[in-house]
Chains A and B, each alone.
Chain A
Amino acid sequence: MADLEAALSVALQGAKGPGALVPVLQRLQGELGYLPGPALEEVARRLGIPPARVFGVATFYSQFSLKPKGKHLVRVCLGTACHVRGAPQILAELSRQLEVGEDGLSRDGLVSLEEVRCLGACALGPVVVVDGEYWGRMTPAKVTQLVRALRERGKGEA
Chain B
Amino acid sequence: MRLRGPEELAELRERVGRGPPLTVAVCGGTGCRAFGAEAVLSTLRREIDRAGLSGDIGVKMTGCHGFCERGPIVVVRPQGLFYPGLKPEHVPRLVESLRRDRLMEELLYVDPVSGRRIAREEEVPFYQGQQRVVLAANGHLDPTSIQDYIATGGYAALAKALQMPPEEVIEEIKRSGLRGRGGAGFPTGRKWEFCRAAPGQKKYVICNADEGDPGAYMDRSVLEGNPHSVIEGMLIGAYAIGADEGYVYVRAEYPLAVKHLRTAITQAEELGLLGENILGSGFSFRLHVFEGAGAFVCGEETALLASIEGRRGQPRPRPPFPAQKGLWGRPTNINNVETWANVPHIIARGADWFRSLGTEGSPGTKIFSLTGKVRNTGLVEVPMGITLREIIFGIGGGPPEGKAFKAVQIGGPSGGCLPEELLDLPVDYESLTGAGAMMGSGGMVVLDEDACMVDMARFFLEFTQAESCGQCPPCRLGTKRMLEILTRITEGRGREGDLEVLEELGWGVKEASLCALGGTAPNPVLSTLRYFRAEYQAHLEGRCPARACRALITYRIDEEICVGCGACAKVCPQGAISGEPGQPHRITVELCIRCGACLAACPKGAIRVA
A: residues with CB less than 8 A from B are: 17-23, 25-26, 49, 53, 56-57, 60-64, 78-81, 83-86, 89, 92-93, 96-97, 116-125, 127, 134, 136, 139-141, 144
Assess whether A141 is in contact with B571, with CB atoms less than 8 Å apart. Answer: yes
Assess whether A134 is in contact with B293, with CB atoms less than 8 Å apart. Answer: no
Beta-carbon nearest neighbor of A135 in chain B: B34
Assess whether B294 is in contact with A84, with CB atoms less than 8 Å apart. Answer: no
Task: State how many angstroms separate the Cβ of B307 from the closest Cβ of chain A.
Answer: 6
Most buried by A among B215, B295, B328: B215
Assess whether A26 is in contact with B293, with CB atoms less than 8 Å apart. Answer: yes
Assess whether A93 is in contact with B573, with CB atoms less than 8 Å apart. Answer: yes
Beta-carbon nearest neighbor of B68 in chain A: A123
Beta-carbon nearest neighbor of A25 in chain B: B293
Task: State how many angstroms separate the Cβ of A12 from the closest Cβ of chain B.
Answer: 13
Shortest Cβ-Cβ A-B pairs, 8 listed: A120-B217, A79-B214, A123-B68, A21-B310, A61-B293, A81-B371, A134-B34, A118-B214
Assess whether A80 is in contact with B445, with CB atoms less than 8 Å apart. Answer: yes
Task: State how many angstroms separate the Cβ of B437 from the closest Cβ of chain A.
Answer: 13
Interface presence of B308 (CB below 8 A):
yes
19 contacts between A and B (CB under 8 A): A19-B309, A22-B310, A62-B294, A79-B215, A80-B412, A81-B214, A81-B215, A81-B377, A83-B214, A84-B447, A85-B372, A92-B595, A118-B212, A120-B216, A120-B220, A122-B372, A123-B71, A140-B573, A141-B601
In angstroms, Cα B31 to Cα A81, docked, is 14
Q: A26 contacts which chain B residues (CB < 8 A)?
A: 252, 291, 293
Interface string of B30-67 (1 = CB under 8 A from A): 11011100000000000000000000000000000000
Task: State how many angstroms separate the Cβ of B123 from the closest Cβ of chain A.
Answer: 21
In angstroms, Cα B6 to Cα A148, docked, is 60
Assess whether A57 is in contact with B595, with CB atoms less than 8 Å apart. Answer: no
- Give the contacting residue for A61; candidates B31, B216, B294; CB below 8 A: B294
Q: A26-B293, A80-B371, A140-B573 are in contact. List 10 more A-B contacts (CB 8 A).
A: A26-B252, A61-B292, A80-B412, A84-B447, A93-B573, A116-B253, A121-B217, A122-B215, A122-B372, A139-B597
Q: B254 contacts which chain A residues (CB < 8 A)?
A: 120
Task: State how many angstroms separate the Cβ of A46 from the closest Cβ of chain B.
Answer: 14
In angstroms, Cα B593 to Cα A56, docked, is 39
Q: Which label, helix, strand, loop or mixed, suits the secondary structure of the A interface?
A: helix
Task: State how many angstroms separate the Cβ of B254 from the closest Cβ of chain A.
Answer: 7
In angstroms, Cα B456 to Cα A84, docked, is 8
Task: State how many angstroms separate the Cβ of B456 from the closest Cβ of chain A.
Answer: 8
In angstroms, Cα B455 to Cα A148, docked, is 31
- The verdict on A80 contacting B443 (CB below 8 Å), with A86-B596, A134-B34, A141-B571 known, is yes
Task: State how many angstroms separate the Cβ of B17 from the closest Cβ of chain A.
Answer: 33
In angstroms, Cα B308 to Cα A96, docked, is 39
Interface string of B301-319 (1 = CB under 8 A from A): 0000001111111000000
Assess whether B451 is in contact with A84, with CB atoms less than 8 Å apart. Answer: yes
Beta-carbon nearest neighbor of B452 in chain A: A84
Q: A56 contacts which chain B residues (CB < 8 A)?
A: 311-312
Assess whether B310 is in contact with A118, with CB atoms less than 8 Å apart. Answer: no
Count chain B residues whose beta carbon lies closer than 8 angstroms to a beta carbon of A: 61
Assess whether B71 is in contact with A62, with CB atoms less than 8 Å apart. Answer: no
Q: B460 contacts which chain A residues (CB < 8 A)?
A: 80
Interface presence of B196 (CB below 8 A):
no
- The verdict on A63 contacting B571 (CB below 8 Å), with A80-B215, A123-B71, A124-B31 known, is no
Q: A121 contacts which chain B residues (CB < 8 A)?
A: 30-31, 34, 68, 217
In angstroms, Cα B451 to Cα A134, docked, is 25
In angstroms, Cα B468 to Cα A60, docked, is 11
Interface presence of B269 (CB below 8 A):
no
Interface presence of B465 (CB below 8 A):
no
- The verdict on A141 contacting B597 (CB below 8 Å), with A120-B30, A121-B30 known, is yes
Interface string of B2-45 (1 = CB under 8 A from A): 00000000000000000000000000001101110000000000
Task: State how many angstroms separate the Cβ of B212 from the closest Cβ of chain A.
Answer: 7
Q: A62 contacts which chain B residues (CB < 8 A)?
A: 293-295
In angstroms, Cα B295 to Cα A57, docked, is 11
Assess whether A63 is in contact with B311, with CB atoms less than 8 Å apart. Answer: no
Assess whether A96 is in contact with B573, with CB atoms less than 8 Å apart. Answer: yes
Beta-carbon nearest neighbor of A117 in chain B: B214
- The verdict on A63 contacting B371 (CB below 8 Å), with A116-B253, A120-B217 known, is no
Interface presence of B532 (CB below 8 A):
no
Task: State how many angstroms separate the Cβ of A136 from the closest Cβ of chain B.
Answer: 6
Interface string of B236-262 (1 = CB under 8 A from A): 000000000000000011100000000
Task: State how many angstroms separate the Cβ of B609 from the closest Cβ of chain A.
Answer: 13
Task: State how many angstroms separate the Cβ of A76 from the closest Cβ of chain B.
Answer: 13
Assess whether B372 is in contact with A118, with CB atoms less than 8 Å apart. Answer: no
In angstroms, Cα B309 to Cα A15, docked, is 13
Beta-carbon nearest neighbor of A59 in chain B: B312
In angstroms, Cα B68 to Cα A44, docked, is 44
In angstroms, Cα B212 to Cα A117, docked, is 8
Interface presence of B378 (CB below 8 A):
yes
Task: State how many angstroms separate the Cβ of B419 from the closest Cβ of chain A.
Answer: 16
Assess whether B573 is in contact with A97, with CB atoms less than 8 Å apart. Answer: yes
Q: A127 contacts which chain B residues (CB < 8 A)?
A: 34
Assess whether B313 is in contact with A60, with CB atoms less than 8 Å apart. Answer: yes
- The verdict on A123 contacting B573 (CB below 8 Å), with A18-B309, A140-B596, A141-B601 known, is no
In angstroms, Cα B463 to Cα A153, docked, is 33
Assess whether A80 is in contact with B214, with CB atoms less than 8 Å apart. Answer: yes
Q: B31 contacts which chain A residues (CB < 8 A)?
A: 121-124
Assess whether B252 is in contact with A19, with CB atoms less than 8 Å apart. Answer: no
Assess whether B294 is in contact with A118, with CB atoms less than 8 Å apart. Answer: no
In angstroms, Cα B458 to Cα A140, docked, is 23
Beta-carbon nearest neighbor of B308 in chain A: A19
Task: State how many angstroms separate the Cβ of A22 from the closest Cβ of chain B.
Answer: 5
Assess whether B291 is in contact with A81, with CB atoms less than 8 Å apart. Answer: no
Assess whether A22 is in contact with B293, with CB atoms less than 8 Å apart. Answer: yes
In angstroms, Cα B596 to Cα A53, docked, is 46
In angstroms, Cα B445 to Cα A26, docked, is 32
Q: A139 contacts which chain B residues (CB < 8 A)?
A: 597, 600
Assess whether B595 is in contact with A93, with CB atoms less than 8 Å apart. Answer: yes
Task: State how many angstroms separate the Cβ of B480 from the closest Cβ of chain A.
Answer: 18
Instruction: List residues of B (347-379) whose CB comes within 8 Å of A's CBs.
Output: 369, 371-373, 377-378
Most buried by B among A23, A120, A123: A120
Q: A144 contacts which chain B residues (CB < 8 A)?
A: 571, 573
In angstroms, Cα B221 to Cα A53, docked, is 35
Q: B294 contacts which chain A residues (CB < 8 A)?
A: 61-64
Beta-carbon nearest neighbor of B373 in chain A: A84
Beta-carbon nearest neighbor of B600 in chain A: A139
- Give the contacting residue for B215; candidates A49, A64, A118; CB below 8 A: A118
